[in-house]
C-alpha cells in the first residue's frame, strides 16, 4: 500500500500548527472586527498570489478561462438557484442602507427589490454568464474559472485560523459540456489534480466516487448510469486508487472527492468534482445541437485546491513553515558582515541583482515586464553582530542566507556565497520558477557561488 505523505518521513512532534506558524512567519492575522475573515499580511498574500498564479499558468493548458463576477446578487437569484431556501442559515443577507429610508430616494427606488445575498458560491453567476449568449454544441465545453471571495456564515464558536472561516476563496471552476463529453472532462480534471498535488508533493490521496442516492434524485436512472459509467472509466484511467460510496451522491448528481491525509493522520477533503443536472435546469440553459435541436448542458463544479485558505493551512503544516523556494515569502536575505559603507553598498548591489530590481536606482524608471520573475530578497546591513543576524534570519525561516564580507569585494569576477538553510526541495521549485532567471542558479549543494551580472 502507498504511504501517505512520503516527503514527511517522521511527523514533527508536536505537530506543526498553521496558526502558530502563521504568526511567526507574519503570514496572516485576525481581528475582532472580522471574525472568520483572516487578514493576509504581505508574506501571506505573497504565498496566496503565488498559488493563484500557479493555477492561472495551468489554466491555459486545460482550457479554462477566468471570469470576474459579482459579490452580491438579488434575493431573486438565490431563490432561482435554490440557495435562499436550502442554504438559508449559511448565507449573509445584504441591504442598501439607503434603501431602508435613510437615503432621500424617490418612491420608485424604495419600492425595488433591494434585498441581496452575499455569495457563498460562484455557480449561479457562471450560469448567468453561460446564458448571456446563444451557445452551439461547437462552443462546448465552456470552462469558467473564478477566484472570487466567498462568504458562509459559520457560527463564531467554530472559527479558527485559515481552516474554519467565514470568508474564503476557491479556485472555483465550472465546466458546461454535453453528456458525451463527461468522460474527457473528468479525465482531464483528474490529470489536473494529479499534476497540482504532485507539484506540492502532497499525497498520495484517495479518490472517492459517490453515486446516485436510492430515493431522492433528479433526472432518469439511465442518465445517471451513463454519467457514472464515464466517471468510473475516468477513475480507472487515472491510475490512482479509488473507491465507491454507494448512494452517497447529491440528489442533483454524482461526485468525486479527493481525500488527503496529513502528517498528523487527519483526513482532509480538498479537491472535488461534482456533476450537476439541476442548475442548468433551474437556469434554463441550453445549446444548439448538430441536429438543429437544443439540449441542456451538464454542469461540472470542480476545485483543485478547494478553499485556498484551507490549502494554505495544509501547506504551512506540510512544509512546517519552510515553503519551497518558488512560493516562499522569505526566499533569501543578504547579511553584511560589517557596517562598512563599501560592504553595505555591495550587499545592496547583490540584493538588487538577485531580486531583479537593479534598474530601480535609475532616475528614468522603465516599466517591468509582465514575464519578469521578481524574488523578494531582503537585506540586513545593521551594525549588529553577524551571529545575531544569522540567528534572526534562521528564525524567520529564510530559505537562503547570503553573507557579504569585505573579502567578497576583492574577488574577481564578483561572486557571492549562498548558504542553503534547511529547506525542502529547492530543486523542483527552481525547475518550475527560476530557470531562466539570470541572478539565481539551480541549487545543488549547500554552498553556491553566484556570478553577479555586470
Q: Please give the residue ranges that form the binding site for Zn ion (CB under 5 A).
A: 123, 301
Tell me if 66 contacts its own copies by CB under 8 A: yes
Tell me if 13 contacts its own copies by CB under 8 A: no
Annotated catalytic residue: which of 152, 206, 302, 322?
A: 152
Question: Do 334 and 351 touch, CB atoms closer than 8 A?
Answer: yes
Quick one: what does residue 346 bind among its own copies, Zn ion, none, with the CB cut-off 5 to 8 Å set by partner type? none
Q: What SS3 class is residue 110?
A: helix
Task: Report CA-CA distances (Å) from 160 to 13, 120, 153, 250.
Answer: 21, 19, 13, 28
Annotated catalytic residue: which of 18, 19, 80, 170?
A: 170
Q: From the list 70, 247, 265, 406, which residue makes contact with its own copies (rule: CB under 8 A)?
A: 70
Site for its own copies in 241-270 (CB under 8 A): none
Q: Which residues contact 298 (CB under 8 A, 6 or more apart)?
A: 176, 177, 178, 179, 181, 182, 227, 253, 275, 276, 277, 280
| Nearest distance from C-beta of residue 210 to its own copies, angstroms | 27
Q: From the list 7, 53, 136, 180, which residue makes contact with its own copies (rule: CB under 8 A)?
A: 53
Question: Do 178 and 286 touch, CB atoms closer than 8 A?
Answer: no
410 is catalytic: no
Site string for its own copies, 282-321 (x = CB under 8 A): ----------------------------------------
Q: From the list 12, 24, 86, 88, which residue makes contact with its own copies (rule: CB under 8 A)?
A: 88
Question: Do 289 and 137 touch, CB atoms closer than 8 A?
Answer: yes
Site for its own copies in 113-172 (CB under 8 A): 116, 118, 125, 128-129, 132-133, 144, 148-149, 151, 153, 155-157, 167
Quick one: what does residue 107 bind among its own copies, Zn ion, none, with the CB cut-off 5 to 8 Å set by partner type? none
14 preceded by a cis bond (ω within 30 of 0): yes
| Nearest distance from C-beta of residue 281 to Zn ion, angstroms | 15
Quick one: what does residue 301 bind among Zn ion, its own copies, none, with the CB cut-off 5 to 8 Å set by partner type? Zn ion
Tell me if 32 contacts its own copies by CB under 8 A: yes
Question: Do 121 and 83 touch, CB atoms closer than 8 A?
Answer: yes
Question: Residues 425, 427, 431, CA angle at the centre, nearest 5°?
Answer: 125
Q: Which residues contact 196 (CB under 8 A, 6 or more apart)?
A: 54, 55, 58, 304, 305
DSSP class of 253: B
State the Cα–Cα distance between residues 284 and 294, nearest whole angstrom: 11
Q: From the list 264, 282, 432, 441, which residue makes contact with its own copies (rule: CB under 8 A)?
A: 432
Tell me if 438 contacts its own copies by CB under 8 A: no
| Nearest distance from C-beta of residue 40 to its own copies, angstroms | 4
- Cβ proximity to its own copies, 43 vs 181, nearer residue: 43
| Nearest distance from C-beta of residue 189 to Zn ion, angstroms | 13
Length of the chain: 454
301 is catalytic: yes
Q: From the list 3, 13, 97, 134, which residue makes contact with its own copies (rule: CB under 8 A)?
A: 97
Q: From the list 7, 15, 61, 294, which residue makes contact with its own copies (rule: CB under 8 A)?
A: 61
> Using CB under 8 A, which of the segments 271-279, 349-357, 388-396, 438-446 binds its own copies?
349-357
Residue 260: count other Cβ atoms within 10 Å of its Cβ.
22
Q: From the list 221, 370, 383, 422, which residue makes contact with its own copies (rule: CB under 8 A)?
A: 370
Q: Cell for 88?
A: 438559508
255 is catalytic: yes
Question: Do 368 and 358 touch, CB atoms closer than 8 A?
Answer: no
| Nearest distance from C-beta of residue 396 to its own copies, angstroms | 13
110 is catalytic: no
- Cβ proximity to its own copies, 70 vs 247, nearer residue: 70
Annotated catalytic residue: which of 146, 172, 276, 408?
A: 172
Q: Cell for 69?
A: 463576477
- Cβ proximity to its own copies, 192 vs 346, nearer residue: 192
State the Cα–Cα distance between residues 240 and 237, nearest whole angstrom: 8
Tell which phi-psi region holds residue 99, choosing left (phi > 0), alpha (psi between -120 and 50) or beta.
Answer: alpha
State the Cα–Cα distance between residues 245 and 428, nearest whole angstrom: 36
Q: From the list 4, 17, 20, 26, which residue makes contact with its own copies (rule: CB under 8 A)?
A: 26
Q: Which residues contact 214 (CB under 8 A, 6 or more apart)?
A: 247
374 is catalytic: no
Task: Report CA-CA distances (Å) from 16 to 3, 11, 307, 321.
Answer: 20, 9, 20, 8
**C-alpha 383: how far from its chain's center?**
40
Quick one: what does residue 371 bind among Zn ion, its own copies, none, with the CB cut-off 5 to 8 Å set by partner type? its own copies
Residues with a catalytic annotation lie at 123, 152, 170, 172, 174, 255, 301
Amino acid at each position: 500500500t502507498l504511504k501517505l505523505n512520503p516527503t514527511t518521513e517522521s511527523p514533527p512532534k508536536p505537530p506543526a500548527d498553521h496558526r502558530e506558524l502563521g504568526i511567526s512567519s507574519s503570514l496572516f492575522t485576525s481581528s475582532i472586527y472580522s471574525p472568520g475573515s483572516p487578514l493576509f499580511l504581505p508574506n501571506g498574500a505573497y504565498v496566496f498570489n503565488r498559488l493563484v498564479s500557479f493555477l492561472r499558468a495551468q489554466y491555459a493548458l486545460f482550457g479554462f478561462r477566468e471570469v470576474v463576477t459579482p459579490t452580491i446578487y438579488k434575493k431573486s437569484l438565490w431563490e432561482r438557484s435554490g440557495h435562499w431556501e436550502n442554504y438559508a442559515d449559511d448565507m449573509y443577507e445584504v441591504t442598501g442602507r439607503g434603501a431602508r429610508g435613510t437615503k432621500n430616494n424617490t418612491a420608485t427606488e424604495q419600492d425595488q427589490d433591494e434585498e441581496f445575498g452575499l455569495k457563498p458560491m460562484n455557480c449561479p453567476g457562471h450560469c448567468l454568464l453561460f446564458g448571456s449568449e446563444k451557445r452551439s454544441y461547437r462552443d462546448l465545453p465552456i470552462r469558467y474559472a473564478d477566484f472570487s471571495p466567498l462568504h458562509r456564515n459559520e457560527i463564531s464558536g467554530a472559527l479558527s485560523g485559515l481552516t474554519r472561516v467565514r470568508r474564503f476563496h476557491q479556485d472555483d471552476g465550472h465546466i458546461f459540456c454535453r453528456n458525451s463529453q463527461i468522460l474527457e472532462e473528468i479525465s482531464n480534471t483528474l490529470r489536473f489534480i494529479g499534476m497540482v498535488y504532485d507539484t506540492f508533493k502532497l499525497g498520495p490521496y484517495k479518490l472517492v466516487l459517490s453515486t446516485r442516492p436510492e430515493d431522492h434524485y433528479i433526472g432518469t436512472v439511465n442518465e445517471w448510469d451513463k454519467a457514472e459509467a464515464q466517471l468510473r472509466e475516468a477513475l480507472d484511467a487515472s491510475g490512482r486508487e479509488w473507491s465507491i460510496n454507494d448512494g452517497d451522491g447529491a440528489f442533483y448528481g454524482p461526485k468525486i472527492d479527493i481525500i488527503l491525509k496529513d502528517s498528523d493522520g487527519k483526513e482532509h477533503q480538498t479537491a472535488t468534482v461534482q456533476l450537476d443536472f439541476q442548475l442548468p435546469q433551474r437556469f434554463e440553459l441550453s445549446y444548439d445541437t448538430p441536429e438543429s435541436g437544443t439540449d441542456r448542458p451538464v454542469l461540472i463544479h470542480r476545485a483543485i485546491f478547494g478553499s485556498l485558505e484551507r490549502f494554505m493551512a495544509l501547506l504551512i503544516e506540510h512544509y512546517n513553515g519552510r515553503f519551497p523556494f518558488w512560493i516562499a515569502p522569505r526566499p533569501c536575505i543578504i547579511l553584511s558582515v560589517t557596517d562598512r559603507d563599501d560592504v553595505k553598498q555591495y550587499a545592496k548591489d547583490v540584493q538588487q541583482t538577485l531580486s531583479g530590481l537593479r534598474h530601480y536606482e535609475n532616475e528614468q524608471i522603465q516599466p517591468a515586464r509582465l514575464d519578469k520573475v521578481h524574488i523578494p530578497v531582503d537585506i540586513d546591513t545593521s551594525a549588529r553582530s553577524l551571529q545575531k543576524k544569522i540567528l534572526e534570519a534562521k528564525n524567520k525561516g529564510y530559505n537562503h542566507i547570503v553573507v557579504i564580507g569585505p573579502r567578497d569585494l576583492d574577488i574577481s569576477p564578483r561572486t557571492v556565497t549562498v548558504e542553503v538553510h534547511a529547506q525542502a526541495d529547492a530543486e523542483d521549485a527552481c525547475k518550475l520558477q527560476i530557470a531562466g532567471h539570470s541572478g539565481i542558479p539551480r541549487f545543488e549543494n549547500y554552498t553556491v557561488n553566484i556570478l553577479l551580472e555586470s
